[in-house]
Amino acid sequence: MTRPTRSSPPPTPCPHGALQFWGSGGAGRVVPAPGACPPTSSLPAVCGRVCPQEKQCESKCVRAIKGESVGIGRLERFVADYHMNKEKKDAVKVPKSNGHRIAIVGSGPAGLTCAGDLRKLGYDVTIFEAFHKSGGVLVYGIPQFRLPKEIVAAEIENLKAMGVKIINNAIVGKSETVDELFEDGFEAVFIGSGAGLPQFLHIPGENLLGVYSANELLTRVNLMKAYRDDYDTPIKRFGRVAVVGAGNVAMDAARVAKRLGAEHVYICYRRGRDELPARKEEVEHAEAEGIEFNLLNNPVAIHGGEDGHVTGIELVRQELGEPDEKGRRKPVAVEGSNWVLDVDTVIIAIGTSPNPLIRNTTKGLTFTKKGGIEADEGGVTAREGVFAGGDAVTGSATVILAMGAGKAGAKSIDAYIKSKQ
């Protein structure tokens, strides 16, 4: 990379806390770029594996102007893994308590990041997690082959070693409400409960046997070992599978279905290849594993037999028309082009939204039309003492955005507690 000059503009701050370097400072040293972020990534081993670096840090690399960028994501993964393997458990520093108690709802990337930052500042932090395992979407939503669960477990153990408490099987909004958390003595609450409510197509046949949401499939396989025949509720073995959607979750679902023994797995998406929302890397991996792409095809019905099981999915071929409000060309159905793809399983992977449980049990908060908690950039909500961030606010998004929201929430909570003193 080039050296800075007097006319060099300061770089855009790194979106996830990685250092940006201008070049060599001599004697093997490197010079941090002016205004660069400090090395504060809370989950570097995770980010190095699942973040869309090609759209974030790597897209800003000057090497990308004439060729391929520096492999920042792979470097981050290597350094994080090396540090994790070398780190001594007794080397973890336990911050002295400042006497203030904070509750965090959800142990996903937003909650874990918020908890870590607050604990470093001396707060007594307790995370309430609905599942029997901690990690949120990092555990239930991302397959082992893309994000090893041992990596997530190690990061969580580091937080516990720092003094963060985690209570599992605790569904805030059901087993305990936000109001009751305050009654228990917590001075602030951060809601990072994610977006675990799957969206559906609302087409005929969606209630047939053999129709799954990607959220259900991935949760059962990743978190509940349903791929094992000796499990209480194993997943039925697939033959021919249609995955509706083309984001990263759709690619995960398709590759999981393939690993479960499916003979043919099809991605059905209403737009073309240039409009695929999944990372290029994930698309290439799916194709390398034999996933077939039925692009420019939109599902309109799911067909079933007399036994109530799926027998096929009806698709309508599409043409790309004028760009929509987001700049993407809008798909338009080709009249009379309906056809049926023979499948025995359909997996819906078109997105998720926040679970309405907290919305229905917490007074004083305001919500978006899509069910997300309304919060400003610092995670401050309409209710005093309640902060929120991650997918619970934005809907389904990236791990790194959730982590950023967790860091912002921790900073706002610290300022809030200090203002009360």
pLDDT for the residue numbered 22: 36
Same domain, 160 and 230: no
Residue with tokens 């073309």: 272
Same domain, 175 and 256: no
pLDDT for the residue numbered 90: 56
Low-confidence residues of the chain, pLDDT below 50?
1-39
Same domain, 98 and 179: yes
pLDDT for the residue numbered 89: 55
**Residue that is last in its domain, among 330, 348, 366:** 348
**Residue that is last in its domain, among 87, 121, 137:** 87
Same domain, 339 and 207: yes
Q: Is residue 15 part of a domain?
A: no
* Whole-structure pTM value: 0.84
Same domain, 210 and 331: yes
Same domain, 105 and 205: no
pLDDT for the residue numbered 2: 42
Same domain, 65 and 180: no
Same domain, 143 and 250: no
Instruction: Give me the number of domains the chain comprises.
Output: 3
Same domain, 136 and 204: no
pLDDT for the residue numbered 273: 92
Same domain, 329 and 226: yes
CA dist 362 and 302 (Å) reads 38
Q: Which residues contact 291 (CB under 8 A, 6 or more apart)?
A: 251, 254, 255, 258, 265, 266, 267
Find, among 220, 235, 74, the residue nearest to 141 by Cα: 220
pLDDT for the residue numbered 91: 67
- What is the CATH classification number for the domain harbouring 299? 3.50.50.60
pLDDT for the residue numbered 396: 87
pLDDT for the residue numbered 87: 67
Distance of CA 410 to the CA centre of its chain: 19
pLDDT for the residue numbered 231: 81
Same domain, 330 and 395: no
Same domain, 385 and 291: no
Q: Is residue 10 part of a domain?
A: no
Distance of CA 109 to CAs 55, 192, 239, 399, 412, Å?
A: 19, 8, 34, 6, 17
For residue 10, the one-letter residue type is P
pLDDT for the residue numbered 78: 87
Q: Which residues contact 227 (CB under 8 A, 6 or more apart)?
A: 221, 234, 235, 259, 260
**Residue that is last in its domain, among 301, 326, 348:** 348
> Which residue range forms the structural domain that includes residue 277?
200-348
